């Protein structure tokens, strides 16, 4: 690890940690802060897959939804304490990730669409009325008996820091370097002794874990939700746009993207979602054409190394 | 037996239409190696074109077809020159175009919601000539037969273009190898732009019949249509325009059988088919080979 990066890494963790720990005292809209935090975690988790291995998980929301439903089922049927249930939700997402691991054989767009199809299929299974004695089908989940806004906020806070720490690890470690080598040229990396299959799989499952944990904490926090509210494609889309906007493959890019754009969404998106959709559609087009490496690529020209 | 026959014949009609739904996506992929994620939204625009032609002018939605061809050509050509050459020059055209067209799909969807309102619309089946047609003892809406017939004509026209015209030869040369086609003196951008516009127009054409085949239409239907189109194209194999017909038939018949025998699970079908095909035979039913990661 490069000297000096310890300081930068610690600084990022402290800023993110203090930011989300103190902001509820400064700003009253806790549900906005909570959603923003969930998107920071999701963007960072998606960045772990897309930024470091090049696989764009279009169905990333599938992991988020599995986490929310896994947590809910653990609370309802196993009567697990909520924090343990959130961990269980994360593990369910990892299992879903293992099931989908064969998709990693596919390249680029094939992978993205197959993953999207998988998340839609999962959504239709969860929402199917025939399974309503397990998942409650389309009627939704109620976890009001364990409703605890402060504890669930703290849980998500820990998850965000965890996701950030994983991203930092990938950014500075040998393993992260190996992943970037795989991303650039898998065959050469293989020849150089990198275990390509294992590298991709580990990053993929870490990414699934982050989304699953975030989904679990989210489900616990809002405590009443429907299949559509945790499986909507919009969640994948937001996470992708936030990562692209900030800069994939960096640590702070997804954080900046999620905070800025989700803040913008909160200002104009909730009242007039179509205008927001229009703006971020145009934003995506402009990003791909003019700034394919995200906002941070502007800074990178001046500063030698951006975390 | 009646149910089975109904499902099979209905599936063929439905499947021919879905061949048309997927074929524009496949043409653009074959020529440019780009996934047009806005494909479903173009179909949605085509469907709204048919709706407005019927509602504002009071004539059959079929008159919308020439208008849409003109409209999509006017939009498609500048869009091609604005976007595609730039994308082809980047480090990862496939992935970046995927994201860019996704952005385009969001723009189209949002504009459609703003312009048309977020309501479901429908066009009465009688506008294509009402009544029903009896095939092998089963009766089907006449509109289905028209849609299937137009789909066959459009696909045959594409076939004639690709295999029996100079432009078509050049198009297939680009599909086989873009660089070599360029070296051989083919005006790659002009031919590709033509294929790009043709892909748009085929999507619009499919859209004209969407109100009859899919029931109601709304501005948000694009994403599902894109996924279904992609499933169909992958079943038939990417980059093989004629394979799409087979993909459409497989999808159409499977959908009809599911709706007949297992209705509550039928919405899972395109996704499960897509994943299964992609995992078992990523090159599709007619495919030669596919690039693995």
What ipTM, to 2 d.p.?
A: 0.80
Which sequence spans correspond to the domains of chain B?
2-123+131-280
pLDDT at A186: 83
Q: Does residue B289 have a pLDDT over 60?
A: no
Q: Is A104 within 8 Å of chain B by CB?
A: yes
Q: Is A303 within 8 Å of chain B by CB?
A: no
Q: How far apart are CA B244 and CA B233, in angstroms?
A: 5
Q: Which two tokens stand for residue B154?
A: 């459009």
Closest Cα in chain A, distance from residue B267 (Å): 7
Percent residues over pLDDT 90 in chain B: 22
Q: Could you identify the residue written with the tokens 């089907």?
A: B140
pLDDT at B287: 54
Closest Cα in chain B, distance from residue A285 (Å): 5
pLDDT in tens, B4-43: 878 888 888 889 999 999 999 989 888 888 888 899 999 9
Q: Is A37 within 8 Å of chain B by CB?
A: no
User: How confident is the model over A226-230, as a mean pLDDT?
Assistant: 89
**What does R_g of chain B's alpha carbons equal in angstroms?**
19
pLDDT at A277: 83
Q: How confident is the model at residue B292 (pLDDT cuts 50, 70, 90)?
A: very low
**A196: part of which helix (H) or strand (E)?**
helix A196-222
Q: Does residue B279 have a pLDDT over 90?
A: no
Of A231, A233, A235, A234, the C-alpha closest to A127 is A231
- Which residue of B102, B113, B279 is in closest CB contact with A102? B279
Contact at CB, A117 and B95, closer than 8 angstroms: no
Q: Please, where are the H alpha helices in A223-307?
A: 227-231, 233-246, 252-264, 273-290, 296-300
Find how far residue A259's CA is from the centre of its chain: 13
| Residues of chain B with C-beta less than 8 angstroms from the C-beta of A124 | 265, 267-268, 271
| Residues of chain B with C-beta less than 8 angstroms from the C-beta of A277 | 106-107, 109-110, 113
Residues in chain B: 293
Nearest CA in chain B to A119: B271
pLDDT at B291: 45
| Residues of chain A with C-beta less than 8 angstroms from the C-beta of B113 | 274, 277
Q: Is A114 within 8 Å of chain B by CB?
A: yes
Give contacts of B 126-145 with A, CB under 8 A: none
Nearest CA in chain B to A137: B264
Q: Which two tokens stand for residue A139?
A: 């009627």
Q: Does residue B285 have a pLDDT over 80?
A: no
Q: Does residue B57 have a pLDDT over 60?
A: yes
pLDDT in tens, B205-221: 999 988 888 888 888 88
- Which residue of A105, A237, A285 is in closest CB contact with B100? A285
Contact at CB, A118 and B275, closer than 8 angstroms: yes
| Residues of chain A with C-beta less than 8 angstroms from the C-beta of B107 | 277-278, 281-282, 285
Q: Is A282 within 8 Å of chain B by CB?
A: yes
| Residues of chain A with C-beta less than 8 angstroms from the C-beta of B282 | 105-106, 110
pLDDT at A3: 58
Span of A116-130, A292-306, B89-103 with lowest mean pLDDT? A292-306
Q: Is B180 within 8 Å of chain A by CB?
A: no
A95: which DSSP letter? H
pLDDT at B293: 40
- Which residue of B94, B106, B274 is in closest CB contact with A281? B106
| Residues of chain A with C-beta less than 8 angstroms from the C-beta of B291 | 107
Of A203, A95, A221, A94, the C-alpha closest to A157 is A221
Q: Does residue A255 have a pLDDT over 90?
A: yes
Q: Please, where are the H alpha helices in B33-141?
A: 39-52, 64-88, 93-116
Find how far residue A158's CA is from the centre of its chain: 14
DSSP-derived 3-state class of residue A107? coil
User: How confident is the model over A235-240, as a mean pLDDT?
Assistant: 88
Span of A55-59, B42-46, B284-288 with lowest mean pLDDT? B284-288
Closest Cα in chain B, distance from residue A124 (Å): 6
Span of A2-11, A66-75, A157-166, B205-214 with lowest mean pLDDT? A2-11
Q: How far apart are CA A187 and CA A175, in angstroms?
A: 17
pLDDT at B286: 54
Using DSSP bridges, classify how beta strands B132-135 and A224-225 pair: parallel, antiparallel or unpaired: unpaired
Dihedral, CA of residue A77, residue A80, residue A84 and residue A88, to nearest 10: -10
CB A283 within 8 A of CB B99: no
Q: How confident is the model at residue A1 (pLDDT cuts 50, 70, 90)?
A: low
Q: Which architecture, in CATH terms, is B2-123+131-280?
A: Orthogonal Bundle (1.10)
pLDDT at B130: 67
User: How confident is the model over B73-97, as a mean pLDDT?
Assistant: 86
Percent residues over pLDDT 70 in chain A: 97
Contact at CB, A104 and B293, closer than 8 angstroms: yes
* Whole-structure pTM value: 0.83
Give contacts of B 197-226 with A, CB under 8 A: 223
pLDDT at B290: 45
Q: Is A46 within 8 Å of chain B by CB?
A: no
Nearest CA in chain A to B268: A121
- Higher per-residue pLDDT: B2 or A72: A72
Q: Does residue A87 have a pLDDT over 80?
A: yes
Of B25, B96, B76, B45, the C-alpha closest to B219 is B45
pLDDT in tens, A177-218: 899 888 888 888 888 888 888 999 999 999 999 999 999 999
Q: Please, where are the H alpha helices in chain B?
A: 2-32, 39-52, 64-88, 93-116, 142-164, 166-176, 178-183, 188-214, 222-236, 243-261, 269-280
Of B25, B47, B42, the C-alpha closest to B107 is B42
Q: Could you identify the residue written with the tokens 């909507």?
A: A232
**Mean pLDDT value across chain A:** 87
pLDDT at B272: 85
Q: How far apart are CA A130 and CA B267, in angstroms?
A: 14
Residues in chain A: 307
Contact at CB, B110 and A281, closer than 8 angstroms: yes
pLDDT at A247: 85
pLDDT in tens, B87-104: 888 777 777 888 889 889
pLDDT in tens, A269-297: 667 778 888 888 898 888 888 887 777 87
Beta bridge partners of B139: B134
């Amino acid at each position: 690890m490069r000297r000096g990066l310890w300081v930068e890494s610690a600084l990022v963790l402290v800023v993110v940690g203090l930011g989300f720990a103190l902001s509820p005292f400064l700003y009253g809209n806790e549900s906005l802060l909570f959603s923003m935090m969930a998107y920071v975690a999701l963007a960072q988790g998606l960045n772990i897959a897309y930024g470091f291995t090049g696989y764009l998980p279009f169905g990333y929301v599938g992991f988020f939804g599995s986490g929310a439903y896994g947590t809910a089922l653990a609370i309802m049927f196993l009567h697990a304490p909520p924090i343990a249930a959130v961990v269980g939700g994360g593990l369910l997402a990892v299992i879903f990730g293992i099931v989908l691991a064969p998709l990693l054989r596919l390249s680029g767009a094939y992978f993205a669409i197959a993953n999207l199809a998988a998340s839609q299929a999962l959504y239709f299974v969860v929402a199917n009325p025939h399974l309503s004695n397990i998942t409650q089908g389309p009627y939704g989940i109620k976890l009001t008996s364990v409703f605890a806004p402060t504890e669930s906020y703290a849980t998500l806070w820990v998850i965000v820091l965890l996701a950030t720490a994983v991203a930092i690890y990938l950014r500075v470690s040998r393993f992260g370097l190996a992943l970037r080598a795989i991303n650039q040229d898998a065959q050469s990396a293989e020849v150089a002794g990198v275990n390509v299959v294992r590298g991709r799989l580990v990053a993929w499952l870490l990414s699934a874990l982050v989304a699953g944990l975030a989904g679990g904490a989210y489900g616990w926090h809002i405590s009443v939700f429907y299949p559509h509210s945790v499986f909507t494609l919009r969640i994948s889309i937001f996470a992708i746009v936030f990562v692209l906007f900030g800069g994939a493959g960096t640590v702070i890019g997804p954080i900046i993207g999620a905070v800025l754009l989700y803040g913008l969404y909160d200002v104009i998106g909730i009242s007039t979602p179509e205008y927001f959709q229009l703006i971020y559609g145009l934003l995506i087009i402009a990003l791909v054409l003019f700034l394919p490496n995200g906002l941070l690529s502007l800074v990178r020209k001046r500063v030698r190394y951006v975390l | 037996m009646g149910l089975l026959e109904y499902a099979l014949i209905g599936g063929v009609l439905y499947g021919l239409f879905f061949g048309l739904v997927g074929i524009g996506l496949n043409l653009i992929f074959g020529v440019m190696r780009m996934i047009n994620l806005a494909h479903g939204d173009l179909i949605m625009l085509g469907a709204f074109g048919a709706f407005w032609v019927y509602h504002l002018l009071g004539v059959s939605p079929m008159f919308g077809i020439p208008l849409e061809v003109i409209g999509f050509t006017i939009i498609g050509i500048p869009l091609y020159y604005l976007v595609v050459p730039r994308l082809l020059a980047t480090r990862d055209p496939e992935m970046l175009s995927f994201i860019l067209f996704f952005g385009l799909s969001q723009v189209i969807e949002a504009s459609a919601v703003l312009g048309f309102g977020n309501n479901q619309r429908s066009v009465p089946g009688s506008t294509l000539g009402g009544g029903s047609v009896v095939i092998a003892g089963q009766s089907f809406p006449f509109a289905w037969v028209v849609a299937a017939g137009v789909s066959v004509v459009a696909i045959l026209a594409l076939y004639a273009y690709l295999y029996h015209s100079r432009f078509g030869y050049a198009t297939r040369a680009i599909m086989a190898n873009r660089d070599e086609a360029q070296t051989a003196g083919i005006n790659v951008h002009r031919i590709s732009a033509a294929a790009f516009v043709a892909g748009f127009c085929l999507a619009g054409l499919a859209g004209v019949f969407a109100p009859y085949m899919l029931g109601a239409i709304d501005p948000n239907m694009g994403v599902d249509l894109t996924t279904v189109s992609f499933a169909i194209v992958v079943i038939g194999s990417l980059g093989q325009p004629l394979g799409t017909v087979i993909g459409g038939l497989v999808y159409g018949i499977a959908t009809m059988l599911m709706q007949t025998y297992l209705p509550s699970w039928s919405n899972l079908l395109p996704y499960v088919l897509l994943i299964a095909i992609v995992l078992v035979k990523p090159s599709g039913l007619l495919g030669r080979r596919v690039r693995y990661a």
